[in-house]
Amino acid sequence: MDIYDIAKASGYSTATVSRVINKQNNVSKKAKDRIEKVIKENGYTPNRIARSLAKKSSQLIGIMVPDIRKFFESQSAYELEKILEASGFSTILCVTTDDIRKKKSYLDLLIENQVEAIIGVGSTYEQDEFYKSLVEVSKDIPMAMLNVSPTINSDRIVNVYIDEINAMDQAVSLFKKKGYKKPLYVSLDRGFQTRSYIAKKAGFIEALYKYYDEVNFVEYKIKSVEVCDINPLIDFIEENDFDSIQFELDSLAVVFYKHYVNAGNKVPEDLAIIGFDNIDATEYTNQRISTIDQRIRRQVELALDNLFKLMKGEESENDLMIKAELVEKETI
């Protein structure tokens, strides 16, 4: 049993349950008695160390990422840790995956450890069902989210994200400027759609109509970066005379570049390539791959600046969209 189950069984919010567990005073006797009864009946035991803390400040901040292996998540966590450590905070890093139960379980863990704030990295956290949980918890614990643009508003959560639509505009504009006539959009087939994916695709389509007279939007989905998935893409490009590609992710662009060039093709003469993320690997291919930089450091700085204001009870900006940077290298 976790605090969400206790909240459901008692009929009170997770925020109220958290206040009872952490022995806070601003809870009615009726609510306190009901929640404590549910806890006792179900044998729920909150983190004993966190409950025994006598300090007013834990100096702990929780960081949640869905997959630490991915560039945006790992680089964001690194930048967050650097600034938070320099500001006197320790961190608890939770790798939640995209599973809703695991996300809620880790959120429960951070509450039990009495973190002073929670930071989420990745658009998976803007899923309505989970974001509602964040809004409820944020009444007691201020939060910041990176690459999150939710449909639900809260003045206790700072959301920072890039303008993917403008990012695609920059890329397609460069294709047109360089004389490329038939751009292709290549994405990763995850089996589900994130807000970021939807925004990138919409931005690409919008830019095609803006810069090209004849528009034929084509999206090619790759299930993996294995050779069995890359070679059919190469055949598809040659059969349909595409002369440029916008990849949804650099990880796709880097692997594709290797196989495409090894097959005897030339970049950018035969095909121009732009990726997305500006990962380190784009610097180490034979030709440095042009890409779009999400300006992670800037996102982190804005998120923490406004999160610290929330923690101090000051006014903060809660919806911050920043412009991405197109980094032109050697593949266009």
- The string of pLDDT tens digits covering residues 161-183 is 999 999 999 999 999 999 999 99
On whether the CB atoms of residues 156 and 188 are closer than 8 A, the answer is no
On whether the CB atoms of residues 121 and 135 are closer than 8 A, the answer is no
Kindly write down the DSSP assignment for every residue of 273-323, as one continuous string.
Answer: EE-SS--GGGGSSSSPPBEEE--HHHHHHHHHHHHHHHHTT-----EEEE-
Residue 172 neighbours by CB distance under 10 Å: 26
Which portions of the chain are predicted below pLDDT 50? 48-55
Kindly write down the DSSP assignment for every residue of 130-177, as one continuous string.
Answer: HHHHHHHHTTTS-EEEES---SS--TTEEEEEE-HHHHHHHHHHHHHH
* Amino acid 47: pLDDT: 54
* Amino acid 7: pLDDT: 84
On whether the CB atoms of residues 18 and 2 are closer than 8 A, the answer is no
* Amino acid 16: pLDDT: 83
92, 131, 154, 300 from 17: Cα distances, Å: 22, 18, 20, 31
DSSP state of 1: -
* Amino acid 51: pLDDT: 47
- The string of pLDDT tens digits covering residues 77-118 is 999 999 999 999 999 999 999 999 999 999 999 999 989 999
* Amino acid 54: pLDDT: 40
* Amino acid 41: pLDDT: 86
27, 285, 289 from 213: Cα distances, Å: 64, 34, 27
* Amino acid 46: pLDDT: 59
Strand 291-293 to 325-327 pairing = antiparallel
* Amino acid 166: pLDDT: 98
Domains of the chain: 3-46 (1.10.260.40), 58-162+296-322 (3.40.50.2300), 164-293 (3.40.50.2300)
Three-state secondary structure along 37-72? HHHHHHCCCCCHHHHHCCCCCCCEEEEEECCCCCHH
